[in-house]
Amino acid sequence: MEKESIIEKLFDVDGIMLNTNDDNSLPQIQIKHNFRLNGVCKLRGIRKSISGKSVDLEITTKYKNWDKNTFTSKIQNVEMVRFDNVESFLRSNKNLIV
């Protein structure tokens, strides 16, 4: 994906959805150098920095509730994620993008 199309789709109302049919293999995204989020099923851009090097994201994660054998979704707003990390995440998971 080109950088412009990534930005356009990321900041769309729906954001970027990932295929969640095989819930055991949802990817993780690096937020900071020592912080990652697992089970990512949706990314949506909220705001981009003036320089364009970082974005604020709304990240939807999906976790399995082993007691009830169901899945739970959680939405988190994360500030100042390096756009390089978002590009790397999307490049390595391009086969999961819906």
For tokens 């295929």, name the residue: 19
Evaluate whether 31 touches 78 at the Cβ level (below 8 Å): yes
Q: How many CB atoms lie within 10 A of CB 13?
A: 5
pLDDT at 24: 63
- The phi, psi pair for 85, rounded to 5°, reads -65, -40
Is the four-CA dihedral 33, 36, 42, 46 of positive or negative sign? negative
Domain boundaries, the chain: 3-96
For residue 44, list its beta bridge partners. Answer: 58
Q: pLDDT tens digit string along 21-79?
A: 765 678 999 999 899 999 999 999 999 999 989 999 999 999 888 888 888 899 999 99
